[in-house]
Amino acid sequence: MSQVDRIGISLPPELLHTFDAHIRQHGYDNRSEAIRDIIRDYLVEQQWQDESAPVVGTVTLVYDHHTRQLEATLTDVQHEHHEAIQCTTHVHLDAHNCLEVIVVKGTSAQVRAIADRLIALRGVKHGKVVCTGTGENLT
């Protein structure tokens, strides 16, 4: 951080007390860093609201690899969107279950559509997309 602007915020004491307790619990040393993270999170969230904004998402899937056709379909969907799929990590959790984390980069609408399609596949036990930004416009 090369330069900072200082601002003052007025808050009800109870709100500030709750906030301080919360950020302490999450390991923040000071309010400034916690507030910076909250602002960045808000900005990334806004980015995701804009369907044409460039974003990055990680799609986490847990599935039973014995489910008929599922692994082939997962691979097909990823090849269909090879320009957006950055990489995939596969973990064999036990004799039946697999974890797959797929990094998807594209417009917000595109990443959401690919994530929805993967998560909705029959045999996926749990799926979740974590939405983040490309780091641009965030300091």
Interface with Ni ion by CB under 5 A: which residues?
A: 65, 92, 98
**C-beta of 126: minimal distance to Ni ion in Å?**
15
Please state, in angstroms and rounded to a whole number, the distance separating the CA atoms of residues 125 and 84: 24
Closest approach of Ni ion to the CB of residue 101, in Å: 12
Q: Residue 66 or residue 92: which is nearer to Ni ion going by CB?
A: 92
Q: Which residues contact 28 (CB under 8 A, 6 or more apart)?
A: 34
Nearer to Ni ion, 92 or 125 (CB): 92
Q: Which residue has the tokens 């915020």?
A: 9
CA dihedral 24, 26, 31, 33 (to 10 degrees): 150
Residue with tokens 């919360």: 22
Taking CB atoms, the residue at the shortest distance from Ni ion is 98
CB of 29 to Ni ion, least distance (A): 40
Nearest to 85 by CA among 110, 71, 102: 102
**Of residues 92 and 128, the one with the C-beta less far from Ni ion:** 92
Q: Which residue, 33 or 64, is less far from Ni ion as judged by CB?
A: 64
C-beta of 115: minimal distance to Ni ion in Å? 20
The H or E element spanning position 105 is strand 97-107
